[in-house]
Amino acid sequence: MKKNLLSYDIFVDDLLSKLKIKKNTNYNVCVCDVCEKKHFKIITSKSLLSSDKNLYCYLPVVNCKICGHSQQLIKFNDKFYNNYYMNIIEKNILTKKNIKLRFENSVRRGEALKFFLEKKLKKNFNGKKILDVGCGYGGMLLPFAKKGSETFGVDPDKDSINYGKKNNKFSKLLNIDAEKMKFKKKSFDLVIINGSLEHVHNMNLVLKKVSDYIKDKGILFLEGKGFPLDIVENFFNFNHHRIFTKRTFNNVALKYNFKPIYSSYKSELSNLKSVFAHSHQKNYKLLKQNYKKNKKGNLIWVGIKSKLKLKKKYIKDNFILKHFNLEKNFL
């Protein structure tokens, strides 16, 4: 990357003033989340800040030239993100409206996940130990818990956890950042990370922990935004630190000894998350039409924890570059 592009103060100031946050917040220019190199191509210099106000901030989203992973280039400290999620996102996006509907939807998604694991992958987790990282209200765990599974969930949002504790008394829900969770090594049979890996501050730390806590041959279930819904929904927004594809999930999972066994943009789970979960949003109709037309929703991915050490390899992904209109001039 050219040297004159390494100072982002002007963009950071723009963001902070839009968020009404005091200046001089520390930030870093990141390495790639996946391959940890620093060879990027900027794919957009603008990130959506608020869909309600159609407000953008000038912060670059980049694509890694080595492995093809896409992410935000600039990262702030944990204090900044905690404030951002608790005081800004919470107020603007996670309104308390439709909370019952959202909870019910998360239970339905849990049912769909259970069905998918049993019917499609022939995996039964009745009576087994399950962890949901970024569990929200803990609704996804409920169908598993009711079948005798020992279920745990962590989420940084206190209100979601409190709502979950009242409505899912079968699971142990903890109000803690995924980076700070602590569980016994090799104790879980299934770990769910549903739409949370985009948001975590330190993805590598979270996956390292998950890899430690999961048993050999245990299952990791990931869910993330997927093309083309990510474009319709304006996925490259400030709220999402990174975007995944089938191949970048494969690349990152291999680092933590997970072997990919399944991935898809088309499933009942994708449908539930991509469409129904957003029924409170203004662009709901558009999302529904788009899903109907493309039959593609969020990306789901499943991996199995290998006992043997897997070889790290970064197979370059061109999916995002191929589908996204690149901005030619950054400045």
Residues of this chain that bind Zn ion (CB under 5 A):
32, 34-35, 64, 66-67, 69
Q: Which of 199, 155, 151 is nearest to 175 (CA)?
A: 155
Whichever of 33 and 157 has its CB closer to Zn ion, that residue is: 33
Instruction: Give least dist CB 27 to Zn ion, A.
Output: 20
Count of other CB atoms within 10 angstroms of residue 17: 12
Q: Which of 317, 322, 303, 323 is nearest to 247 (CA)?
A: 317
Instruction: Give least dist CB 208 to Zn ion, A.
Output: 17
Q: Which of 231, 206, 259 is nearest to 320 (CA)?
A: 231
Whichever of 35 and 191 has its CB closer to Zn ion, that residue is: 35
Instruction: Give least dist CB 218 to Zn ion, A.
Output: 26
Pairing of strands 47-50, 55-57: antiparallel
The answer to whether 36 and 64 are in contact (CB under 8 A) is no
Instruction: Give least dist CB 316 to Zn ion, A.
Output: 9
Q: Where are the alpha helices (DSSP H) in 121-185?
A: 142-145, 158-167
Whichever of 248 and 274 has its CB closer to Zn ion, that residue is: 248
Instruction: Give least dist CB 1 to Zn ion, A.
Output: 13
Whichever of 32 and 107 has its CB closer to Zn ion, that residue is: 32
Whichever of 69 and 109 has its CB closer to Zn ion, that residue is: 69
Residues with Cβ within 8 Å of 293's Cβ and at least 6 positions away in sequence, in order, are: none
Whichever of 48 and 62 has its CB closer to Zn ion, that residue is: 62
Does residue 60 have a cis bond before it (omega within 30 degrees)? no
Instruction: Give least dist CB 61 to Zn ion, A.
Output: 14
Residue in the block written with tokens 């979950």:
164
Q: Which of 209, 243, 231 is nearest to 317 (CA)?
A: 243
SS3 155: strand
Instruction: Give least dist CB 320 to Zn ion, A.
Output: 12
Count of other CB atoms within 10 angstroms of residue 102: 21
Whichever of 49 and 74 has its CB closer to Zn ion, that residue is: 74
SS3 30: coil
